[in-house]
Amino acid sequence: MHKILGYLLICIGLFIILFALHAMYQVFINGGSVANIINFADLTFQTQVGPLQFPMQQTSLIANLGLFALFMGFLVAVGGKVASIGCQILKIERLRETLLQLKPENITEQTLKSL
């Protein structure tokens, strides 16, 4: 049972990591679009010569790309942690099986539960 759970967590973690990497590849390499979370309005300044306007569309795009990259980095970290938990479960299960094979008469079920 623990082996199945460990391998399942490793697969889920790797899937999350691959999903995040694929999404970043689609956006940054293939030019896909990201969610438009931040919208900056154009700036207009009144000067002696007349109104001076600064378009902020590129700034909004850079901010949205930065947020997307931050979120995908978070997903990679989460996937790594999930896979790490799966590895730890497998390691403990392997240790438990090894201890049972070495000297089963000296190892009680209480010792195994403490692992």
Burial of residue 59 (number of CB atoms within 10 Å: 0-12, 13-18, 19+):
middle
Provide the number of structural domains found in the chain.
1
For residue 85, the model assigns a pLDDT of 96
Domain around 80: 1-30+76-115
Nearest to 23 by CA among 72, 66, 61, 58: 72
Q: Could you tell me the CA-to-CA distances from 4 to 7, 86, 87 in Å, in that order?
A: 5, 9, 11
Residues 6+ apart with CB under 8 A from 5: 86, 89
Is residue 53 assigned to a domain?
no
Is residue 42 assigned to a domain?
no
Is residue 64 assigned to a domain?
no
Is residue 99 assigned to a domain?
yes
Is residue 21 assigned to a domain?
yes
For residue 9, the model assigns a pLDDT of 95
- CA of residue 65 relative to chain centroid, distance: 16
Q: How far apart are CA 57 and CA 36, in angstroms?
A: 11
For residue 71, the model assigns a pLDDT of 95
Is residue 3 assigned to a domain?
yes
Confidence band (pLDDT; 50, 70, 90) for 111? low
For residue 107, the model assigns a pLDDT of 64
Mean pLDDT of the chain: 87
Is residue 25 assigned to a domain?
yes
Is residue 41 assigned to a domain?
no
pLDDT at 25 over 90: yes
Maximum Cα interatomic distance, the chain, rounded to a whole number of Å:
94
At residue 93, what is the residue type? E
